[in-house]
Amino acid sequence: MSQTTPSKTADKKFYDAETHYFSDPSFMTDHQAVVETYVAKYRATLAALAKRKGRKLKTLELGAGTCTLSLTLSREPWIGAMHCTDISAHRMDSLARTVAQHIGGRIELLTFGEADFTDPLRFGDGQFDVVLFDAALHHSRNMWTTLRECHRVLADDGLLIAQREQYAAPLTYPWALRKLLRSEEVAAGVTENSYLKAQYEYYMRATGFRPTFLPVGHRQLPGLWFLNGLVFSKWVIVAERRLTCPALD
């Protein structure tokens, strides 16, 4: 059993208490619209993967929280079994059912488990076709372990998808990091990180993935997509699992 660290305890305590997340129905509507915007970028890629395999996809969502992403994808005919894990099973169990009532989806496809994805994952090698992160990967306290484990549990032609991650943009990162220091999460001792796009790419490539970054429109700055990657940074990472993991060779 892994040792409980102060940061892990703070993370779990914070998220165990966050079951009020969708108390405002309008917030849930806005949140779902954002998630759908990201999913639209890779929906066809997942459908093509299922077609190549000749069967429905088996997915793992890490840091699933509200399970909005898994429930959104569960409506697709090419999705099969979905496993969702979070550091707070209490939060996930409470919010997933609230989300399912609002957006639909086949909640019967989902199974739930409490786990910290900074630790080694309790799944067999090659068990999943897709590993999903929705605003979660940046919470890892050890990106190397997290991504190596994703590589291990993915099938040979599997995909890692990370959306709504926390990015630092080259022209604005000092301001963004100061804002992060003033956040409720950091004040509570929760693990928060922000990375440049190039840093995400480095970690992905170093742990055996071939990432593609798909730009996503910035709702606060419509029409200014050309600033993406400079002033703000909005991407979906769709990363193919390579057959070998350089960091483990």
Q: What is the pLDDT of residue 206?
A: 96
Q: Which domains are present in the chain?
A: 6-248 (3.40.50.150)
User: Which pLDDT tens digit goes with each residue over 171-215?
Assistant: 998 998 999 999 998 988 888 999 999 999 999 999 999 999 999
**At residue 220, does pLDDT exceed 60?**
no
- Give strand ranges (E) for 150-234: 154-163, 209-215
The whole-model pTM stands at 0.91
Nearest residue to 3 via CA among 90, 119, 138 = 119
What residues does 228 pair with on adjacent strands? 232
pLDDT digit string (tens) for 34-52? 999 999 999 999 999 999 9
DSSP state, residue 130: E
- Cβ atoms of 125 and 152 closer than 8 Å: yes
Q: Are 47 and 76 in contact (CB under 8 A)?
A: yes
CA distance linking residue 246 with residue 206, whole number of Å = 6
